[in-house]
Amino acid sequence: MKICPMCGMPQLEGASTVCQFCNYEEKPIEALSEREIHDLLASYEYERIGDGVRIQSVKNIRDIALRGSVAIPHFVTEIAAEAFSCCKFLARIELPNGLRSIGDGAFAYCRDLFDVLIPASVSYIGKGAFSNCYDLGVIRVAAPTQPDGWDSDWLSGCSAKVKWSSADET
């Protein structure tokens, strides 16, 4: 199930790329105004980097607590170290295709997190990125094997099983 990054509502599989609730439409970052980027990332501290955006930290945890599920916008290419750490009530996170980097401890101590799909585009994951995520039983990865750029301890302190898959399975 896909989630709209603007309004947080679930989207029908295989449906239009326009949200049926808020009319949000994915556009290339070059086609977005600074206001549109700001609105999509209102809950986060962020910075523009090269061809994308890095989420530095969560600044409005209330939004996450109300939704439980978070969809990171398609133009985010990096999640900084500890950006979501200790994020209470974060149960599900939808990471975008095109995400390249997840920093050290980015999701550490997200104790309610139970659903994660890491896209094949992620070439770097730092140490303890998912440490102490107690409800996380399975992490789905849209790659057949662990990429070379992932820290060997990216799952330290997390008992989740990793389900590797090919792109056509996701």
Lowest mean pLDDT: which of 42-46, 78-82, 93-97, 164-168? 164-168
Question: So what's the pLDDT on residue 19?
Answer: 82
Please give the full DSSP string across 67-87, using - where no structure is assigned.
HSEEE--TTEEEE-TTTTTT-
Local confidence band at 170 (pLDDT 50, 70, 90 cut-offs): very low
Question: So what's the pLDDT on residue 169?
Answer: 53
Which residues have a Cβ under 8 Å from the Cβ of 67 and sit 6 or more positions away?
Answer: 8
- Contact between 93 and 113 (Cβ < 8 Å): yes
**94-128 per-position pLDDT tens digit:** 999 999 999 999 999 999 999 899 999 999 999 99
Question: So what's the pLDDT on residue 27?
Answer: 84
pLDDT at 154 over 70: yes
Distance of CA 107 to the CA centre of its chain: 9
Lowest mean pLDDT: which of 17-26, 41-50, 114-123? 17-26
- What are residue 73's phi and psi, to 5 degrees? -60, 155
Complete domains list, the chain, with CATH: 43-169 (3.80.10.10)
